[in-house]
Structure 1
């Protein structure tokens, strides 16, 4: 396997600082690296956009070199703590521990060092607090700056870029995005002199493959034809068709086996995971990362390989693995090691196999990362979190599915996600090429894979939006007018303004078209002896405001009347649909276990029995099992009419819905009930038939003189075209108005909430921040305002440290599954339950106020972690805490437990600082931190 790509010729270096920097490197810089570093040495900021693995971070490391040489400071920011920890270790190895510090939510190491690695939130918080650590700052590196598109945390990147002093040079490092020039134009606008460097060259060529059975094919033809885009490998498509023909021939009902029971597990003919890894090993394609989009899937893949007897290491290598493992688990007690199944985890590592996902204990993940980098883990099964910048490149990347669950639904991978994942293949300085392997499954068309692999459009979109803490800090630093001015300078507004230019151009074009139509319409109306009517007021968009007594003279008046009738008919249909939907919600909420209903739409039709009632009355989704043995939740989208209970079915106490056999047995019993599916409901009388207003409008239409014109007359075509153009103008105008003012409107609404609650007040010189507002300015949380409301109302003041930890967990924790999480989940701890109920009451009051101001409602507190947090903070064992934290009878993964515990600690520290470090609540928060920071949590926090 060879590649036609060639490495670029190194650029001569004529800058003294850059020459000094490169003298200690054991490789030559690529042209884009030289260009970026030279711009930095010349005093410019830089934006570098290059593919994953191209070596962008060398530019950030040169910024560190410049700061140290000049005796100034450099902050190196990353989006995730794991990447911060890794970068800290890299820089310490080069510059020594005395010159490098680390600041994350968990760690504070040498924070006064001239170079400090930190998460981006830390530098944002420093800016808002006017921290003295900002004095002498000359460079800020923003690694993975494309994270500003992240809908949860992206605003932080823009806040930092906007707030840093003009003298600070910003080094922005981004993955390849198709609108890099637009992003660069914005940075130039807000930061001044900035050099934009875009490089599409991938230093390690990447080959795309598909594995069909046990054969690996190139995805594309080796040589593109006549300069066209690469074509899908014809040998690959031919082989897949042959397999499908054989499969169809062997099954009397086609590939899916429609006449028999559904297939379980991996489809026939698809290579097993142990065989897949063994095949990659034989072809020299290890180490490999197998991306599997579920934690359970990663663990199952690892278990399959271990049980198969597959081993990828020599005895001497296994001994090295054991030494590393012992180092990472040495601080854990034997009891905790038993709970965490350390022996099972160790057994996989001793064979060169591992899993990597957020549910693992962080120490386990770090051990896997170290072993992988050292070549002692040869195959790792990982979720996509591994692709977020952690330095774990491999020779090959394997994808078994091109669909992932995004928290709400199963969705296709985007081209950007595919590129991010496969970009891990190919280790610079080790491999001459990387390999991405997609495992073929029935119905996976190679052209779909080619579309993902060949796409080059990954636009960067701002996620910047005002929030409570941001609003308070902006007004505190800049005043109300200054805060609004900063919003207008955001990348979000920059992108909006650019798109609005195009919208205005469309409006102008549409208005010119409208003028031409009016000339034609007037001429045609005169030729048939009809008054055209008032062309200036024939605004189709205004038709909604007309009533049966409005003036509809002339032909345009007649057309307006027709438009009003259509609008009224649509309104009545919408009202009918909303009524039916409300009735459907009521009926779904009322369904009980054992009720038999009928499904008429979607993929599943026929009888269905309710096996779990709905839990959320706002969006009820009972779990049902159908005649075809499908089991899942159904909601309002699955019903055109409210469900009707057709009968009842006795169910066993424990319904086996997790196995195919259990579902098939239950479906057979459902069919045996003899309940018939109604063929359909009789059509109901249309609401339009009884609407008096619509009747008057229709009478007026029939009496209009223009009603006698032939339906095919040119006048009607012209008038309909005129209405379409006017509707387009109205829609474009509304879009421009909405888009240009969205940020400002949202900000004003947030200010309204904060003013009504007393966090902001009108002073002689404008809006000012109150003492309560200053408390809010120090709380960085998704539920910041709710937390401050609870602090101000002294809801948590009387709690002991373990009780406070438990209650505070409810405003940070979020259940992974759609399950009930109200205060009464907590049993046996009356003080915790009462405080949770008070917290919920504060949330309901706040939510009502937010709704009144048209502000997004703060997330409801989730008590799903409270019992576990109380158990742990009270000094109980890890096994007890994990069991108490489980969902649906399954213990919480240890990694999740540590992650949520860290977030509780972080919030408790914010509460302590917000309370001034004094008073009962502050003391309780400090003690609670000490209660949590023990055992596995203390091991992880250091």
Structure 2
């Protein structure tokens, strides 16, 4: 059996390899399907599978680990068993389905993605991981004869939103099924493999660090492409560069000169910002007179083209930035395709998009998209129509699209390797702030560079930015820190399904096998060791604090109690003030003029919207200096009250500068002659506060006991006290460690118990029995499963039309990328508004119940898609719906598909009720036009 390493084998090793071929006949036949020899790690993994063991293969992007999964498919067919090939996303499932159909024919291969059911009883079925999870819970007959499950991209297990599904599948698969897990290179692959062996039995972990194509790292400064590392003997074939590799001296000098130049510029120039949208192309004078250019996007592509470094993927951590990059390259006149390539691109896109309604093409930007593609340039991000993304992917794979400007989502999943990967900036928005990318993210992005069988070497390029430190860039490239961390937690749907199948005790034991618990238990060992050391040190501190006059620890405890009572009294005062402030905010009305006590917006302001919400009041105000802001409790450390009132214009819009100016002017006029608000009676009230009186009395009692203690007169009192303080501090730390040990022991099982307590309180569970209500919940797989089940239980949706139901369900699906606090979402009239209001109130009561049980699963419903869903279900055209929503086409389609999925679940859960037909009508109303067309492309 030949491998890529055959030329390095000795005669004895060649003989052993020959004998192995006789022992692994299926593998020997399988290798004949390829026109290249398999790598050593691929052969090793395939041998393990043929011998009946499970495998975990962790290898760099593009190394060919999917061949191991394809061998499991081949072995299943050869031995008359079934194989399920699971992927994390539908697009990957579609791609793998097409690959397997091309090899084995359509009769042998099926596809199950939720949207599509193609030959579902075939011996080989490609599916998303969620589909397999649902089949396991339902006890589907399709599982009969299953011999192998391939879990591609198994490192998705760390995904916060969906990772639990991977663990559910791994834990619940029948023991007779061999599991083939394929993962990106992670730094704790051995730990993950150890867990797989624990829950699945005999499993071999195979880690391949070596890249199939060497990767060279560069920094682009202006139009110059400089090596990141100085040494010519860097092992570019390794998965990462060894730490301490020397950095290119020229880059270090440029960085030093640039820093010096920026200090001079900062001293000479007025402070300010560059114009919005401006990026790249600007020079900076450095210390030696040279100028450093921040490379423009057009310069980058032009240089890569001239160096023969295309095709390239340029990662820009912004959808708007990706689209703008395409526009900038087209404006610069860049054309990367030949006439015959342009013809092929045009023909493919026209055919692929032929079902797109003509009226929708303008709204979707079809002609601009086609213009960019015919020049060999395209964007790729989640805001694009799935059909457009599919065109980009296919044309890129065919070598017709030369440059793709993409967000980091492209680094996960789709097989689109490049000769060169460019990273525009080393920081990105993480949902809360701009943060530097991690070494793991850097490795994952640059890992796409270098196409096996096409490129001799791959290239990773970072674009120069002001203040860049080349040594920090080198640190990103020379660290393998991408640990796999479990995101598993039991959900309400999971709980009822498990209890239905196994009963509560067995379910609890199953969940204790999760990777989350496995990692927690390993951490407990280290914590317990720390706790033992702390307890030994405590004994030493107690001995050092010994006093000949009496029990000094008792004396020190009196001192500690005095300090605690004083702190508690101070905290109580703050809490009282906060409660009073909260009560005063709840009394505010639109038009009230208040004085904001502290903070950035201190001074007079007029209340436009009191901002009542379950989290507490967040008044939306306009200040005297024309600022329109939604304030929070932190802005009100003391109570406020209306000092006067103003009339708010009926159609006031805080985003309109003129309206803000007019209202601020009226506010200044009204408050010009106002005297400062009189001092409150807070001090007098606090002096009569019973809690404060009790605290004062307790402090007096403790101080008297302190003075009467025999150790009070010890000449070494303060020396003893220092040892006692160390004792108390370490004791606090030890108690914290003890709690952490207790919390990490059986954490998942205890969380499952709390979930079951909530379900029992709501009558979804009765001991080991799932009630009729619980059976409805078993079919609802949404993140908002319990809100959906309770809405059904209370009949909130019974009288809605299909479009009304679409609107109501959307609040359980949609999550805005960035919340808009300034405006209230538009809702349909009639019964829909009331139903949505009832759903929000229902969520509020469930949120209280969750908090009582120390759970936090259900997010607040988001009303931002309700109007859009209603209008689409009513038959509005795409152009008007997109215009009203401020959504990108791809986002619109994605949310619609998730909404259709939930409506289908509601239909399944509703039994024979009228709601079942309404939900089915909702699915039909939503699945039209561009939404229906993209069913295969998402």
TM-score strictly above 0.5: yes
**SS at structure 2 position matched to 1:376:** coil
C-alpha deviations, 1:334-366, integer Å up to 9, x for none? 111111121111111111111111111100000
Q: Residue in 1 aligned with 2:898?
A: 903
Asked if residue 461 in structure 1 is aligned to residue 468 in structure 2, the reply is no
Q: Residue in 1 aligned with 2:804?
A: 803
Q: Residue in 2 aligned with 1:546?
A: none
Contact (CA 8 Å) 2:258, 2:466: kept in 1 or not?
A: no
Q: Residue in 1 aligned with 2:851?
A: 851
Asked if residue 555 in structure 1 is aligned to residue 538 in structure 2, the reply is no
User: What pairs up with 1:643-658 in 2 under 5 angstroms?
Assistant: none
C-alpha deviations, 1:456-500, integer Å up to 9, x for none? 122211111111111111111111110111111111111111111
Contact (CA 8 Å) 2:544, 2:720: kept in 1 or not?
A: no
Asked if residue 230 in structure 1 is aligned to residue 263 in structure 2, the reply is no
Give the Å deviation of 1:594. Answer: 12
User: What pairs up with 1:789-868 in 2 under 5 angstroms?
Assistant: 789-819=790-820, 825-827=826-828, 829-856=829-856, 858-868=858-868
Asked if residue 351 in structure 1 is aligned to residue 375 in structure 2, the reply is yes
Question: 2 CA distance for matches of 1:97 and 1:188?
Answer: 35
C-alpha deviations, 1:578-604, integer Å up to 9, x for none? 456667778889698998989987xx8
Q: Residue in 2 aligned with 1:425?
A: 449
Shifted more, 471-480 versus 431-440: the winner is: 431-440
Give the Å deviation of 1:225. Answer: 10
Question: 1 CA distance for matches of 2:631 and 2:849?
Answer: 32
Question: 2 CA distance for matches of 1:349 and 1:608?
Answer: 55
Q: Residue in 2 aligned with 1:57?
A: 66
Shift in alpha-carbon separation, 1:195–1:403, aligned structure 2, 3 A: same
Give the Å deviation of 1:606. Answer: 9.4
Asked if residue 447 in structure 1 is aligned to residue 441 in structure 2, the reply is no
Asked if residue 940 in structure 1 is aligned to residue 929 in structure 2, the reply is no
Question: 1 CA distance for matches of 2:243 and 2:514?
Answer: 39
**SS at structure 2 position matched to 1:826:** coil
Shift in alpha-carbon separation, 1:646–1:92, aligned structure 2, 3 A: farther
TM-score w.r.t. the length of structure 2 is 0.86
Q: Residue in 1 aligned with 2:413?
A: 389
Give the Å deviation of 1:780. Answer: 0.7
Q: Residue in 2 aligned with 1:171?
A: 180
Contact (CA 8 Å) 2:311, 2:399: kept in 1 or not?
A: yes
Asked if residue 470 in structure 1 is aligned to residue 491 in structure 2, the reply is no
Question: 2 CA distance for matches of 1:657 and 1:430?
Answer: 56
Question: 1 CA distance for matches of 2:73 and 2:719?
Answer: 73
**SS at structure 2 position matched to 1:330:** coil
Q: Residue in 2 aligned with 1:111?
A: 120
Q: Residue in 2 aligned with 1:253?
A: 267
Give the Å deviation of 1:751. Answer: 1.0
Structure 1: 4+ residue segments shifted above 6 A: 224-228, 583-601, 604-614, 619-634, 637-658, 684-690, 821-824
Question: 1 CA distance for matches of 2:229 and 2:580?
Answer: 53
Q: Residue in 2 aligned with 1:242?
A: 257
Give the Å deviation of 1:644. Answer: 11
Contact (CA 8 Å) 1:608, 1:624: kept in 2 or not?
A: no
Q: Residue in 2 aligned with 1:506?
A: 530
Question: 2 CA distance for matches of 1:303 and 1:807?
Answer: 38
Given the alignment, which residue of 27, 36, 48 partners 1:39? 48
C-alpha deviations, 1:883-938, integer Å up to 9, x for none? 34x1xxx3x2111111111111111211122223x331111212221111111111
Given the alignment, which residue of 284, 301, 324 partners 1:300? 324
Contact (CA 8 Å) 1:292, 1:382: kept in 2 or not?
A: yes
Q: Residue in 2 aligned with 1:402?
A: 426
Contact (CA 8 Å) 1:32, 1:197: kept in 2 or not?
A: yes
Q: Residue in 1 aligned with 2:159?
A: 150
Give the Å deviation of 1:231. Answer: 2.6
Question: 1 CA distance for matches of 2:592 and 2:452?
Answer: 60
Asked if residue 914 in structure 1 is aligned to residue 909 in structure 2, the reply is yes
Give the Å deviation of 1:66. Answer: 0.4
Question: 1 CA distance for matches of 2:854 and 2:259?
Answer: 55
Question: 2 CA distance for matches of 1:941 and 1:770?
Answer: 35
**SS at structure 1 position matched to 2:226:** strand
C-alpha deviations, 1:606-652, integer Å up to 9, x for none? 99999997856536777899999999877566888889999999999
Contact (CA 8 Å) 2:594, 2:607: kept in 1 or not?
A: no
Give the Å deviation of 1:401. Answer: 2.0
Asked if residue 785 in structure 1 is aligned to residue 750 in structure 2, the reply is no
TM-score w.r.t. the length of structure 1 is 0.86
Shift in alpha-carbon separation, 1:640–1:906, aligned structure 2, 3 A: same
C-alpha deviations, 1:853-912, integer Å up to 9, x for none? 33325223222222222212222211222234x1xxx3x211111111111111121112
C-alpha deviations, 1:757-794, integer Å up to 9, x for none? 221114xxxx2112221221111111111211222222
User: What pairs up with 1:872-891 in 2 under 5 angstroms?
Assistant: 872-884=872-884, 886=885, 890=886
Contact (CA 8 Å) 1:7, 1:203: kept in 2 or not?
A: no
Shift in alpha-carbon separation, 1:879–1:501, aligned structure 2, 3 A: same
Question: 2 CA distance for matches of 1:837 and 1:420?
Answer: 44
Q: Residue in 1 aligned with 2:288?
A: none
Given the alignment, which residue of 73, 95, 99 partners 2:108? 99
Question: 1 CA distance for matches of 2:219 and 2:646?
Answer: 48
Contact (CA 8 Å) 2:825, 2:864: kept in 1 or not?
A: no
Shifted more, 9-18 versus 49-58: the winner is: 9-18
Structure 2: stretches of 5+ with no match in the other structure:
236-241, 284-293
Contact (CA 8 Å) 1:822, 1:862: kept in 2 or not?
A: no
Give the Å deviation of 1:147. Answer: 1.2
C-alpha deviations, 1:777-822, integer Å up to 9, x for none? 1111111112112222222122222222222222111222213699
C-alpha deviations, 1:415-455, integer Å up to 9, x for none? 22222112121111111222222222222322322222222
Shift in alpha-carbon separation, 1:614–1:450, aligned structure 2, 3 A: farther
Contact (CA 8 Å) 2:48, 2:55: kept in 1 or not?
A: yes
Shift in alpha-carbon separation, 1:502–1:301, aligned structure 2, 3 A: same
**SS at structure 2 position matched to 1:171:** strand
Shift in alpha-carbon separation, 1:788–1:559, aligned structure 2, 3 A: same
Question: 2 CA distance for matches of 1:611 and 1:368?
Answer: 50
Question: 2 CA distance for matches of 1:75 and 1:643?
Answer: 63
Given the alignment, which residue of 231, 248, 266 partners 2:279? 266
Given the alignment, which residue of 85, 90, 100 partners 2:99? 90
**SS at structure 2 position matched to 1:209:** strand
